[in-house]
Amino acid sequence: MPLEIERKYLVNEEKWLSVAKPEGIHYSQGYILNDPQKTVRVRVTDKKCFITIKGATTGATRAEYEYAIPRKDAEELLNNFCAAKVEKMRYSLIFKNKLWEVDEFLGKNEGLIIAEIELKEEDEIFVAPSWMEKEITGDARYYNANLAQNPYQNWKPDTSGVSSGKLPWKILNDISDLMEAGMNCYLHKTTFEVVSVPDENRFPQTDWEDEDRQWKEEMDKVFGNPDYMEIGKMESSDSFEIMEDFAMSLPESATKIHLMTALEGHKPFRNFNHQIHNAEKTEKEQWFRFRRERDIEWIKEQLEGRV
């Protein structure tokens, strides 16, 4: 009997984004049969299609039978016989001589990233990558078959004792993106919904008196609503400090000299950005990562004790 020995782990999204990875493969899969003792799965990718029968999981081991099937058959089974489906992008990469398969889930499971590793023995020793978080091998909630029926986004968030440090990184990153684009952001205290509207100072042409304006619904939702909190904007002095810290963190180089000179002169923000624009690609990327990390730290500070 063919056996699958597989361990699963949650992935740290922030660290995973910085990993060099191959092109992902889109997976669409559904379940003809799904009960605790056995599942029958149909999977469709760009290149291959499979039908898979899996037995009950014991520890990290279970029986598995998988067969390639024609695309036409797979698509008909997926569309006509599978009530519950899962969509995801899969990335396969080698780390310390072990194959890891990392799934970024889509649709109603967006925000969930799971890494899997197949082993020869349940107690086999391997080196864990830095982006791997807690093990979820025995947690049935994370089985693909169960995610198809009870998607990740439907899980009720546990808001007891939540701090800004426990907010999903994707939410913090989205807020940072919106604020960088000149938006004012509001966060719901329990659902973590983010509502954004244009900053009047950045977009003075916005007609805020127009009853049919594009942003009226969003403003009505958050204005005077105690369930939403506004996230404060960073002062110019704080932004200047971030630029200065970045320049100081660089090794001695022409770029470091140019950035320090820009900050010491007239119109430091404009001149700093000009120098970054003309820097090497790796230095630009280094700046954007540095700035994003500091922006997220700032957002966390604004939210600490309020959620």
**Catalytically annotated residue among 9, 31, 91, 228:** 31
Angle (CA) 273-274-279 rounded to 5° is: 95
Q: Give the DSSP letter string of the chain.
A: --EEEEEEEEE-HHHHHTS-----EEEEEEEEEEETTEEEEEEE-SS-EEEEEEE--BTTEEEEEEEE--HHHHHHHHHHT-SEEEEEEEEEEEETTEEEEEEEE-GGGTT-EEEEEE-SSTT---PPPTTEEEE-TT-GGGSHHHHHHS-GGGSPP--TT--GGGS-HHHHHHHHHHHHTTEEEEEETTT--EEEEE-TTT-TT--TT-TT-TTHHHHHHHTT-TTEEEPPPPPHHHHHHHHHHHHHHSPSSHHHHHHHHHHHSSSHHHHHHHHHHTS-HHHHHHHHHHHHHHHHHHHHHHHTTT-
Query: Is 27 noted as a catalytic residue in this protein?
Result: no
CB 151 within 8 A of CB 108: yes
Q: What are phi and psi of 163, to 5 degrees?
A: -120, 170
Residues with catalytic function: 31
